Amino acid sequence: MNLDEYMGALRGAAEPTRLRLLVLCAASELTVSELTQILGQSQPRVSRHLKLMVDAGLLERFREGTWAFYRLAQGTDASRAAAAFVDMVPADDPVIRRDGDRLAAIRSEREAAATAYFRKNAAHWDEIRRLRVDDGEVERAVLDVLGDAAVGTLLDIGTGTGRMLSVLGPRVRRGLGIDRSREMLSVARANLERDGLHNCSVRLGDMYGINAESGSFDLVTVHLVLHYADQPGQVIAEARRVLAPGGRLLVVDFAAHDLEHLRDEHAHRRLGFSDAEMAAWCRAAGLSLAPARALPGGPLTVKLWLATRAAEGVHGGSARLERA
């Protein structure tokens, strides 16, 4: 960061309301309406302050349907300056403490909404769980298959409640989950805040058209989601597009089965997957697939397929799938 950029960051933060916004957005992803509620100021005024800080590189703004969320920027010189400014704000200041109390109330509201959503859908998830190995065993297998190597950036496709982010978040520098359900994203945010995983965030997103540059992620996970996809091969190809050279794709899903009622009662588009079709999709996408790991459990067997994109300079016979 040069002197002009640093002065721009200072100007972006040099106002009491903007410092309060920085502190709040460092603690949680928040909408304009939530920030307005906490600060007790008008929405136009809060929006103007937020725009100044986004322009200065201190905050990130992202849309989720008709909502816009704000959080502390990540991975830039300006974001490091923003984090330093937050650290310098006295935590025992009465205004900062009051803002924190109001933020806690908003988090409690989110938790209540998440609990209500789970209660409404508990029967569905419980029935599926009874058909397969328990979640703990699957998560232990995920950690075992991935090994102890550090991961820079993680993308979790179809993140749902954010469980893969919670499991892998402590091992990654930065994690992102995408899902097309705003209700599930609300649950995921509450879970990430509960777990203190400020290096992870979630966004509204489409598994067929991920809003990220090619080669952005070191690890992509698709955890018990692919069986909902109309075109699983396209999901694999899109996951490969956003993988960095040498990056890995982990698909966790059901082995092929014949439980037809899962189509009608639970909207499963595919009744699991065979190793052969998974290998074909990975091969077409330019990924090398390792032997699958199986976790039998009742009528359904969960499988873990780990595929790797070749490092730069390593060329195979697979087609290169990159967007222009």
Nearest Cα neighbor of 255 from 284, 286, 208, 293 is: 293
C-alpha closest to that of 290 among 302, 278, 300, 298: 278
On whether both 156 and 235 belong to a single domain, the answer is: yes
DSSP E strands in 99-159: the ranges are: 151-157
Regarding whether 135 and 67 lie in a shared domain, the answer is: no
> Which tens digit of pLDDT belongs to each residue from 35-70?
999 999 999 999 999 999 999 999 989 775 667 889
Same domain, 82 and 222: no
When pLDDT is cut at 50, 70 and 90, the band that residue 324 belongs to is very low
pLDDT at 320: 31
Q: Give me the CATH number covering residue 256.
A: 3.40.50.150
109 assigned to some structural domain:
no
Torsion-angle region of 303 (φ positive above 0: left; ψ -120 to 50: alpha; else: beta): beta
Same domain, 304 and 210: yes
Same domain, 145 and 31: no
- 68 lies in which domain range? 3-103
Domain membership of residue 87 (yes or no) is yes
219 — pLDDT class (breaks 50, 70, 90): very high
User: In the prediction, which pLDDT does 158 show?
Assistant: 93
Give a yes or no: residue 122 inside a domain: no
- The CA-CA-CA angle for residues 69, 74, 80, to 5°, reads 125
- Domain co-membership, 57 together with 189: no
What separation in angstroms does the CA of 148 have from each of 51, 143, 168, 217, 219? 40, 8, 11, 17, 13
Instruction: Kindly state whether residue 80 falls inside one of the protein's structural domains.
Output: yes
Q: Are 197 and 280 part of one and the same domain?
A: yes
Quick one: which H or E segment has residue 210? none
Question: 294 and 149: one domain?
Answer: yes
pTM for the full predicted model: 0.73
- pLDDT tens sequence across 231-268: 899 999 999 999 999 999 999 999 999 888 887 777 78
Say yes or no: 70 and 204 in one domain.
Answer: no
Residue 101 neighbours by CB under 8 Å, 6+ apart: none
First to last CA, the chain: 31
Confidence of residue 131 (pLDDT cuts 50, 70, 90): confident
Q: What is the CATH number for 27? A: 1.10.10.10
Residue 12 forms part of a structural domain: yes
Do the domain assignments include residue 126? no
Is 118 inside a domain boundary?
A: no
Question: Residue 119 has which token pair?
Answer: 């209660």
Query: Comparing 313 with 171, which gets the higher pLDDT?
Result: 171
pLDDT digits (tens, 9 = 90+) for 85-94: 999 999 899 9
159 in the same domain as 54? no
188 and 260 share a domain?
A: yes
Are residues 292 and 177 located together in one domain of the fold? Answer: yes
**Backbone φ, ψ for residue 2 (5° rounding):** -85, 175
Average pLDDT value for the chain: 87
CA dist., res. 161 & res. 94, Å (int): 34
Q: How many domains does the chain have?
A: 2
Specify the pLDDT at position 292: 97
Residue 112 lies in a domain: no
